[in-house]
A = this chain, B = another copy of it.
Amino acid sequence: MKISGASLDLNATEYGITLDPTFTMLEFDGLRVLPVQTEPLIPGHAPASVQVPAPQHSSVNLCAICADRATGKHYGASSCDGCKGFFRRSVRKNHAYTCRFSRQCVVDKDKRNQCRYCRLRKCFRAGMRKEAVQNERDRISCRREGQAVGTLTIDVLMQAEAFTHQNLSQNLMRDINTKKIACVGDVCESMKQQLLLLVEWAKRIPEFCELSVDDRVALLRAHSAEHLILGVARRSLPYNDIILLGNDFIIPFRGTEQEMSKVAARILEELVRPLKELNITDTEFVCLKTIVFFAPDCPGLQCAQAVRRLRFQAQVLLDEATSEQRGRFGELLLLLTTLQSVAWQMVEQLQLMRLLGKANVDSLLMEMLLGEEATRGPEALQASESDPEPLIFSTATESVLSRGILAEHIPMPNFTSVILPVPSSLPEDPLLPTHTGSEVFTHGQTADMTRETSSSLAMPTVHTCL
């Protein structure tokens, strides 16, 4: 805050009392030696117009303190740069000088640095006002400092994202009209691919890799449905009323299977459309994705506080990435409630279709989307819950219900599994060769990829992917 209105007054008083009892700023306004010149200035016209006692080197051109060449009026007095700087520094730092002699030192160009007390006094007497010295301002120089609130950076997130998009440009090449309409099986295949990519994406975030295995698994399980929806919505941004899957199939707004049409319509209407209107950038997208990913309320999280910090960093990054447009940050964040709603509807739909035998849901989807372990049926899961609440239904339908919301907050039981090594930092080359990437993720080679990524076990689970 403002220090020393008081101390400066004290300072001035001190000068006034010891030297010149009549010394005050107001009086100086009156008995100013130099003309106070506040008349309307004509632009381009020198302010020296009025008072011209001496022809050439009028006093306006001379420093009123030391008679050096003046560079203009400063703080109320025509002065040189030296006296200007001296006055500013003295006032800013609230310096208290003392005269070693009898306070009658000559202050001129040569001797102005011999007595700071007398120089400052002459500044005041020449009309300089301490009020004209402003607050310290921002630095101009371009040297950079300051550091991050956390370690999460846009760069890391963008690189992780780039990895999952090596097939995107290829898809864009092909005409959208030549793509085939997806059946339920195609959708499931695409989801599986994307979930594996999500795991790979996460593994490229060093902060994720530093978490415990259980927490990594918990995070991957918790909001995978949102990530699928978010990803598909982003991929579909360039098109109209068409959802483009990761394996190059499409879901049109109309004319698809009933089971998928509702979710598809909501994706297009409630997510793709707003995202189009916002014209979301890549930076914003990865921030949103990261915010969804580091979900501190995720059930069974051991280190929820660390996850909360990471999400905080991510949302601050998004805030900064959007700060040029009022309301944009909020609009993007509010899309997450919509995303959650659509994702849950998709999960319920999937669960329903699985129970009706309309969809062949494999173990990875079971674990990450439906929140169940592939090796067990829903009954086994229920039996393993520690909650003593009596079972209300024992039919498969209960599973639909409980998977939706209730069971989301039942911690998964740990089970032994093979954990593949996790990189402790970013790999030397975070991007796989483009060739491999585009080949692996092309439709028709899904099985290869699955086998490749989870090689040590026949059955893919989140644990084995890590």
Is A333 in contact with chain B by the CB < 8 A criterion? Answer: yes
Is A436 in contact with chain B by the CB < 8 A criterion? Answer: no
Is A169 in contact with chain B by the CB < 8 A criterion? Answer: no
Which of A38-46, A147-155, A418-426, A454-462 contacts the other chain?
Answer: A147-155
Closest-by-CB residue of B relative to A355 is: B392
Q: Given A297-B270, A329-B330, A331-B315, decide whether A345 and B1 contact each other with a Cβ distance below 8 A.
A: no
* List of B residues within 8 angstroms of A155 by Cβ: 22
CB interface residues, A 263-282, toward B, < 8 Å: 266, 270, 277-279, 281
CB interface residues, A 73-128, toward B, < 8 Å: 91-94, 97-103, 110-111, 113-117, 121, 124-127
Is A383 in contact with chain B by the CB < 8 A criterion? Answer: no
Q: How far is the CA of A3 from the CA of B406 in the complex (A)?
A: 60
Contact A28 B324, beta carbon cutoff 8 Å? yes
Contact B134 A1, beta carbon cutoff 8 Å? yes
Q: Given A146-B19, A146-B20, decide whether A132 and B1 contact each other with a Cβ distance below 8 A.
A: yes
Q: How far is the CA of A308 from the CA of B342 in the complex (A)?
A: 18
Q: Given A138-B113, A258-B389, decide whether A323 and B20 contact each other with a Cβ distance below 8 A.
A: no
Q: Given A8-B136, A92-B3, decide whether A338 and B278 contact each other with a Cβ distance below 8 A.
A: no
Is A291 in contact with chain B by the CB < 8 A criterion? Answer: yes
Q: How far is the CA of A94 from the CA of B2 in the complex (A)?
A: 12
Is A137 in contact with chain B by the CB < 8 A criterion? Answer: yes
Closest-by-CB residue of B relative to A331 is: B34
Contact A324 B124, beta carbon cutoff 8 Å? yes
Q: How far is the CA of A97 from the CA of B126 in the complex (A)?
A: 38
- What is the distance, in angstroms, from A419's C-beta to the closest C-beta of chain B? 29
Q: How many residues of A contact B (CB 8 A)?
A: 118
Is A4 in contact with chain B by the CB < 8 A criterion? Answer: yes
Contact A21 B147, beta carbon cutoff 8 Å? yes
Closest-by-CB residue of B relative to A94 is: B3
Which of A158-166, A245-253, A363-371, A393-401 contacts the other chain?
Answer: A393-401
Q: How far is the CA of A309 from the CA of B409 in the complex (A)?
A: 34
* List of B residues within 8 angstroms of A406 by Cβ: 262, 345, 348-349
Contact B348 A405, beta carbon cutoff 8 Å? yes
Contact A341 B405, beta carbon cutoff 8 Å? yes
Contact B404 A348, beta carbon cutoff 8 Å? yes
Q: How far is the CA of A333 from the CA of B322 in the complex (A)?
A: 15
* List of B residues within 8 angstroms of A135 by Cβ: 1-5, 7, 110-111, 113-114
* List of B residues within 8 angstroms of A54 by Cβ: none
Is A144 in contact with chain B by the CB < 8 A criterion? Answer: yes
Is A414 in contact with chain B by the CB < 8 A criterion? Answer: no
* List of B residues within 8 angstroms of A184 by Cβ: none
Is A192 in contact with chain B by the CB < 8 A criterion? Answer: no
Q: How far is the CA of A21 from the CA of B98 in the complex (A)?
A: 43
Q: Which of B10, B101, B315, B344 contacts A344 (CB 8 A)?
A: B344
Q: Given A1-B7, A10-B1, decide whether A103 and B320 contact each other with a Cβ distance below 8 A.
A: yes
CB interface residues, A 348-370, toward B, < 8 Å: 348-349, 352, 356
Is A72 in contact with chain B by the CB < 8 A criterion? Answer: no
Q: Which of B10, B18, B22, B330 contacts A316 (CB 8 A)?
A: B330
Contact A333 B334, beta carbon cutoff 8 Å? yes
Contact A323 B125, beta carbon cutoff 8 Å? yes
Contact B401 A348, beta carbon cutoff 8 Å? yes
Q: Given A1-B133, A113-B137, A329-B330, decide whether A102 and B149 contact each other with a Cβ distance below 8 A.
A: yes
- What is the distance, in angstroms, from A12's C-beta to the closest C-beta of chain B? 10
* List of B residues within 8 angstroms of A136 by Cβ: 4-5, 7-8, 114
* List of B residues within 8 angstroms of A214 by Cβ: none
10 cross-chain pairs, A with B, having the tightest CB-CB distances, nearest first: A2-B2, A315-B330, A20-B148, A113-B137, A333-B333, A2-B4, A345-B405, A18-B146, A21-B144, A32-B279
